Chain A
């Protein structure tokens, strides 16, 4: 049978019942078809459309930010998102925490043999939608297939490039005693949403992941307060771990007010059930900001004026402390430290 080069693939991908097999990562025609019909169609943009192994573009004026992150979440689909939207939001947010406007993403897929094409298509569509909403283009990518049992469905790596506006230089080492510590909203939603779906922990909650791209919120914040000292998104390890990282980088302590930290009732309840502390539970659509005390009111107002920062709050202050402890004034009236997360946060009975 003659091959028609205008229609290079004899049959369309079976997105309903098909599976990824080793040929989809082999570099041959099957892979070309997967890239063409799935990734290319979903992520379509002029740079990607050239089908080169790299994207070439003119750099924007000023400084660039670059970041990379790999996504290995289980389950792949969870209330409020999936690994695809997460892979966009997470990397966009890492750029945004430098005050950057995200421009381009790359996408690397490591797919386990036997993975349903239907699920892959769903993930890719979600990724495309998240990228479109965030205004970033996925301009180059990579696909590998590993044998069954050697992956967990699909892993995604995304690298992001963004442009940092002049005069904006938030960094984890810039917290100074007296600075205000702010958080953009309720903490712990993402981790609780993920845990609610885990086998053997099953509980029912209406909590959905807070997964969201924060660069719009950050743009408004750096517009209002260009000299914001620190921006960071409290993902793995949660708020507590993020604040400890900043305290160490900046060589300072912090004093938090437990009453001021926004935690949803259901998140608090789920954490009680599992013996976890919401301050250690992951977020994917929240940020911590630290700024000079005189800027705090303006920054808070700006955050609350943005849909992703409506529940923002000032939660504490940076203090001078050689030991770099993050301390908490409890609602009960006592004081304690909020330490680094030790090991993995495991549900406990005791």
Chain B
């Protein structure tokens, strides 16, 4: 096992077009240094490491595991006068694993909005494969999220450090993390089942899917299984899921559920429209007192 070997895998974290969000998110991991102790951190944009940016640019840094943060542009994005794409290529070629950390690095994300033709993820442009995909597919692992969930990254790093195989889906996302939708584990699921809407943000009662734009039922991610700061999630506190792990992020109208005559324009993932509408019509016929009152008022 790699974990027991004397030579730890060499971890190189490189940034392309980024807001630093994934770096900062990972810094919030409560066991950050314990996780990193399984690796030799050869370079990181904000943590102390053995090599300088100058070493990185010259291609002198060893690399087993490359973490890419930020969106990608083939030409015209320079750091220290050097095309970032050329630096990334050097290390991507020699790495055993490439992790695209965050939605920008994976699909293009927010930065792609600025120049959809030129900016993409490292191996995916939205859902489409980029020309680099074929070269790196065998070692690519996608971790979309805006920002990345620190515990998702730590899961992956520890799996790699332990020499375990990580099952991936067609977009190279770990199935253990992205096999669920954000809807899974949402504390509002009873309200979803009985079609009770939340009428405003921040309340504990009601489902945010019908009127507040929640994308939880068709967004892959474990936000309600592996909680943020080990405490909560967007939907738990009453903010709709923005679908930030999806190739189509960011969608327009984040707080609005697109409907056709009151019918959600997009069905929950994998649910046939006819079946969903049949169930919806039936459950809406029932008025359940417990769900129509504020939690603090019920049973008083």
Q: A and B, one complex?
A: no
- A interface with B by C-beta (< 8 Å): none
